[in-house]
A and B are shown apart, each in its own frame.
Chain A
Amino acid sequence: MKILVPLKRVADPDNANKVKVNAGKIETTGLEWKPNPFDEYAVETALRLTENGANPKARLGEVIVVTFGPKETETTLRGALATGADKAIRIDATDEQLDGDVVARALKALIEKEKPDLVLAGKQAVDGDSNQVGQLLAEYLGWPQATFAGTIKSEDDKALVVGREVDGGTINLKVTLPAVVTVDLRIVAPTSVSSKHSPAHKYPEGVRFAALMAIMAAKKKPLTEIKLADLVSDAALKITYTGFELPPARKAGIKVTSVPELVEKLKSEAKAL
């Protein structure tokens, strides 16, 4: 199976509470760049789906990672290559040139060239929280989509049974490839992803780490650059961000000593009841 995974670097999400706003702009100085966690899960999912249990060294298929950004974002791509992806593509662009729609249109053009069987993406990036590239891409390609996947079972690499995490439970869908699947947190649980050629062992919780040898070897894996303009002719953005602000500071809570007092406050002060 040939799988394409779009990958975005984001300001360290574990330190997102250090995000500052300066003159209406987000200030990320001092925050480290990390791969978007949901995209890392997508890479891990792709690696598990192409794993060859009989011969772990020979991947059954190909994993291509793609990012949008300046030269520095190649670090993120090399990181994915080190964990096992086969090939990387950087689409040269700046943040100001991009919104979810441009990214989806550029990916569509790229996918028409690369012809993957599956696009695996994170359900959203944890900086913009826009949650749309996967769905837009599926629509532009005319492919089916399965968003917020918590489990994936491959049926002969021709169809996937996807457990989607939705309000109030899990929706199971069978998707015939090619398709777009976006992944949620639980996809990296030990037995969330399986195929006929999966190894017998369970995976550890979370994503895999690269071995030192693999990090060195990743430097030799193919990484190509494409200009954004070569993929999308219409550069118009559909969303314009005009400003950012910090959320209002939380008001201090009050302590109540008894449940009747709590109910009284909920009635008279919070007016929740």
Chain B
Amino acid sequence: MPNILVIAEMLDGKVRKSTHSAITFARNAGGTFSILVLGQGAKAAAAEVTGFGAQKVLVCDDPYLANPVAERFAPTIAAVAKSGFDVVAVTASSFGKDVAPRVAGKLGAGYAPDISGVKDEGGKLVYKRPVFAGNAYATCTINTPVQVVSARQSEFSAAEPSGGASPVEDVALAAKDAAAERIEYLGLSAAKSERPDLGEARVIVAVRAAPLATRATLRRSSRSARPVAWSLPGCTSPSASPARSSTSPE
């Protein structure tokens, strides 16, 4: 039974909702899991993930980890992974995909990205992942004792809390990477949008008008669609606009 280390991703002092997909991956893989929350303010954020059935919630709270720079995060993730974990799982967000291969490199581990499914076949984890931009699915296994994966948010739905309270434990910041000295974080220019980040939305509604709709009906439907979306119960934000439609498998 694998012991999985789930890496939580932080944004503005909170655990990003995308992390819940990696938790679902860990639950689906069977075995046990712990969650590593690392970043500035991780101690406070850790409380957000103690109710998901993790054996432990590990915390590395350090200003060195204030910004998402892979060279700064990888040493600590790798050091924690070495303390008895078989699989390191991140969500396949841009943070996860940036840092996970670096962690794999440190651990001498194989890395399978964008996992869409996981099965335990006789003690060996078998992964499914899209290739050729989703035009085919591959089945693969990782041949190293420690494995690193990133789980697709679209395929592993956000985990719901399961109750209980996982014990919180501090972990030390690992020795710094020399490569990190040669990288300077200048800042994030956020894409300004009234709409919520799609990665954080609880529900995404894609609407496509009928192809032969006249201009008038299109206008009418887009006008009426907006107020309806506002009143949808449980939407993350009143502006969870249904206007963005996506048909691509990405």
Residue of A nearest to B210 (CB): A255
The listed residue with most A CB atoms (<10 A of its CB), out of B94, B139, B210, is B94
- Distance (Å) between the CB of A104 and the closest chain B CB? 8
Q: Which of A40-72 contact B (CB under 8 A)?
A: none
Cα A242 to Cα B127 with chains together (Å): 10
B-contacting residues, A129-179, CB 8 Å? 129-132, 134-136, 138-140, 142-148, 161, 164-176, 179
User: Which residues of the partner chain A approach B126 to less than 8 Å between Cβ atoms?
Assistant: 242
Q: Is B80 located at the chain interface by the 8 A CB criterion?
A: no
Complex-state Cα separation, A13 to B132, whole angstroms: 8
B139 near A174: Cβ-Cβ < 8 Å: no
B113 touching A142, Cβ below 8 Å: no
Tell whether, in the assembled complex, residue A169 and residue B188 are in contact, meaning their CB atoms are under 8 Å apart.
yes
CB distance from B160 to the nearest CB of A (A): 14
The CA-CA distance from A142 to B114 in the complex, in Å, is 25
Q: Give every chain B residue within 8 A of A21 (Cβ-Cβ).
A: 136
Q: Mark A16-30, 1 if CB is under 8 A from B, else 0.
A: 110101000010000
Query: Is A213 interfacial (CB-CB < 8 Å)?
Result: no
With beta carbons under 8 angstroms apart, the residue of B100, B182, B199 that contacts A167 is B199
B-side contacts of A169, CB under 8 Å = 188-191
Q: Which segment of A186-194, A221-229, A233-241 sits at the interface?
A: A233-241
Contact, CB under 8 Å: B183 / A144: yes
Are the C-beta atoms of B132 and A126 separated by less than 8 Å? Answer: yes
How far, in whole Å, are A170 and B192 apart by their CA atoms in the complex? 11
Structural contact, B69 and A244, CB atoms closer than 8 A: no
CA distance A266 to B232 in the complex (A): 10
User: Is residue A272 contacting chain B, with contact meaning CB distance below 8 A?
Assistant: yes
* Bound: A246/B106 CA distance, A: 34
Any chain A CB within 8 A of the CB of B178? Answer: yes
Whose C-beta in chain B lies nearest to the C-beta of A179? B182
Q: Is A263 an interface residue (CB 8 A)?
A: yes
B179, A26: Cβ atoms closer than 8 Å: no
A175 and B138 in contact, given A239-B110, A259-B228 (Cβ under 8 angstroms): no
Least CB distance, B110 to chain A, in whole angstroms: 3
Q: What is the number of residues of chain A that contact chain B, defined by CB distance less than 8 Å?
A: 66
Asked if B94 contacts A167 (CB within 8 A), the reply is yes
Residues A132 and B104 in contact in the complex (CB < 8 Å), given A16-B135, A127-B131, A148-B94: yes
Q: Does A216 contact B (CB under 8 A)?
A: no
Q: Which residues of A contact B187 (CB under 8 A)?
A: 171-172
Evaluate whether A173 and B97 lie within 8 angstroms (CB atoms) in the complex, with A240-B140, A263-B232, A266-B205 already known: no
Contacts of B130 in A (CB 8 A): 129, 247
**B133 proximity list for chain A (CB < 8 A):** 13, 16, 126, 129
With CB as the reference atom, state the residue of chain B lying closest to A257.
B210
**What is the predominant secondary structure among interface residues of chain B facing chain A?**
mixed
Assuming the A-B contacts A129-B130, A266-B205, are A170 and B188 also in contact, with contact meaning beta carbons closer than 8 angstroms in the complex? Answer: yes
B225: min CB distance to chain A, Å = 6
As a 0/1 sequence over residues 50 to 82 of chain B, the CB contacts with chain A under 8 angstroms (1 = contact) are: 000000000000000000111100100000000
Given known A-B contacts A144-B179, A173-B183, A245-B136, A135 and B70 have beta carbons under 8 A apart: yes
Residues of B within 8 A of A129 (CB): 113-114, 129-133
The residue in chain B whose Cβ has the minimal distance to the Cβ of A139 is B105
**Taking the complex as formed, is A217 at the interface, i.e. its CB lies under 8 A from any CB of chain B?**
no
> Which of B36-44, B141-149, B161-169 lies at the interface with chain A?
B141-149
Mask, B177-221, CB within 8 Å of A = 1, is 111101111111111000001010001010100100000000001
Contact A132 B137 (CB under 8 A): no
Quick check: is A199 within 8 A (CB to CB) of the other chain?
Answer: no
Q: How far is the CA of A192 from the CA of B120 in the complex (A)?
A: 45
Inter-chain contacts of B70 with A (CB < 8 A): 135, 145, 147
B123 within 8 A of A: no
**Contact between chains at A100 and B188 (CB < 8 Å):** no
Q: Is the CB of B199 within 8 A of A168?
A: yes
Q: Which residue of A lies closest to B184 (CB)?
A: A174
Using a CB–CB distance below 8 Å, which chain A residues touch chain B? 11, 13, 16-17, 19, 21, 26, 99-101, 104, 126-132, 134-136, 138-140, 142-148, 161, 164-176, 179, 236-247, 255, 259-260, 262-263, 266, 272-273
Q: List 25 A-B contacts (CB under 8 A).
A: A16-B133, A19-B132, A134-B101, A135-B101, A139-B101, A139-B106, A143-B182, A145-B98, A146-B183, A167-B18, A167-B93, A169-B189, A169-B191, A171-B188, A172-B188, A172-B189, A179-B183, A239-B143, A242-B126, A243-B138, A244-B131, A244-B137, A262-B207, A272-B203, A273-B234
Q: A166-B68, A167-B93, A259-B228 are in contact. List 16 more A-B contacts (CB 8 A).
A: A16-B133, A26-B131, A101-B110, A129-B131, A136-B105, A139-B102, A145-B98, A147-B97, A165-B94, A173-B69, A174-B186, A175-B184, A238-B109, A242-B139, A247-B135, A273-B234
